[in-house]
């Protein structure tokens, strides 16, 4: 289950209901998929063939189609990041800049971990959402954020888009301290 850390106050929010209600208040969708559905051989695998990617998408077909129907997403794929990814450090450096998109950033983690650092309302400020397998998040369009890996430095996630060609990172000039 996801864990939230509010940067300004150090507050930690855990537990499905607390996490969901905090994120919903911030306009961030949070859901959970049953990761036990994933076949054993795909649970901790970070270098995937096209067939294995298809197998993950087929495993969660119902969940993906349900989310897509509710939120207007039209297409989906699998993204993987690990030490096997060429230039991982360079990529992470590029990721770790606050930016916005003109559509939602939707990720369903199926293996490993990731963190979204998201700008909340003015009272809350930036907060981390630490995600593990089964966590599903949608950062709303136009909401400043960035993504990075956790200590295990590996993740597999389903991405959903309205239009992947429109899914471009626009830098966001932050005047406040994002914090650590
Ligand atoms: Fe993004």
Q: Which structure tokens are listed for 62? A: 């119902």
Q: How far is CA 45 from the centre of its chain?
A: 18
Residue 66 resides in a domain: yes
Residue 100 is assigned to a structural domain of this protein:
yes
Q: What is the rounded distance in angstroms from the CA atom of residue 1 to the CA atom of residue 131?
A: 7
Residue 117 lies in a domain: yes
Measured in angstroms, how far is the CA atom of residue 16 from the centroid of ligand 1? 24
Q: In the numeric block, which tokens belong to residue 92?
A: 């992470």
Q: Exposed, middle or buried: residue 162 (CB in 10 Å: 0-12, 13-18, 19+)?
A: middle
Contact 155, 91 (CB under 8 A): no
Distance from the alpha carbon of residue 105 to the mean position of ligand 1, in angstroms: 6
Q: What is the distance in A from the centroid of ligand 1 to the CA of 166?
A: 12
pLDDT in tens, 89-98: 999 999 999 9
Domain encompassing residue 24: 3-171
How much is the pLDDT for 168?
81
In a domain, 63, yes or no: yes
Cβ-contact 110, 38 below 8 angstroms: yes
Show the CA angle centred on residue 31, arms to residues 28 and 35, nearest 5°.
Answer: 140
Q: Quote the number of domains for the chain.
A: 1
Annotated binding residue 113: no
119, 144 Cβ separation under 8 angstroms: yes
* pLDDT tens figures, 142-154: 999 999 999 999 9
pLDDT exceeds 60 at position 180: no
Domain-located, residue 178? no
Whether residue 77 lies inside any domain: the answer is yes
What's the 145 CA to ligand 1 centre distance in angstroms? 6
At residue 179, the 3 state secondary structure works out as coil
Residue 163: per-residue pLDDT: 86
Residues 29, 66, 163, 51, CA torsion sign: positive
- Report CA(116)–ligand 1 centroid distance (Å): 9
Q: pLDDT per residue over 75-88, tens digit each?
A: 999 999 999 999 99
Looking up residue 24, the CATH number of its domain turns out to be: 2.60.120.10
Whether this prediction's pTM lies above 0.85 is answered by yes
Residue 12 lies inside a defined structural domain of this protein = yes
Most distant pair of Cα atoms in the chain: their distance: 46
For range 132-140, the mean pLDDT: 97
Environment class of residue 39 by beta-carbon count within 10 Å: exposed (0-12), middle (13-18) or buried (19+)? Answer: exposed
């Amino acid at each position: 289950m996801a864990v939230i850390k509010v940067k300004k106050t150090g507050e930690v929010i855990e537990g499905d209901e607390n996490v969901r209600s905090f994120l919903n208040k911030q306009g961030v969708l949070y859901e959970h998929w049953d990761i036990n559905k994933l076949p054993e051989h795909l649970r901790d695998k970070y270098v995937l063939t096209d067939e294995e990617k298809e197998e993950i998408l087929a495993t969660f077909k119902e969940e993906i189609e349900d989310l897509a129907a509710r939120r207007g997403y039209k297409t989906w794929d699998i993204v993987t990041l690990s030490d096997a990814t060429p230039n991982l450090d360079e990529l992470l450096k590029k990721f770790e800049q606050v930016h916005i998109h003109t559509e939602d950033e939707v990720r369903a983690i199926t293996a490993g971990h990731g963190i979204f650092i998201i700008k909340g309302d003015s009272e809350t400020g930036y907060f981390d959402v630490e995600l593990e397998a089964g966590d599903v998040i949608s950062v709303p369009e136009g909401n400043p954020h960035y993504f990075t890996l956790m200590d295990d430095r590996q993740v597999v996630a389903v991405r959903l888009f309205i239009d992947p060609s429109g899914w471009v990172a626009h830098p966001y000039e932050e005047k406040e301290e994002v914090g650590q």
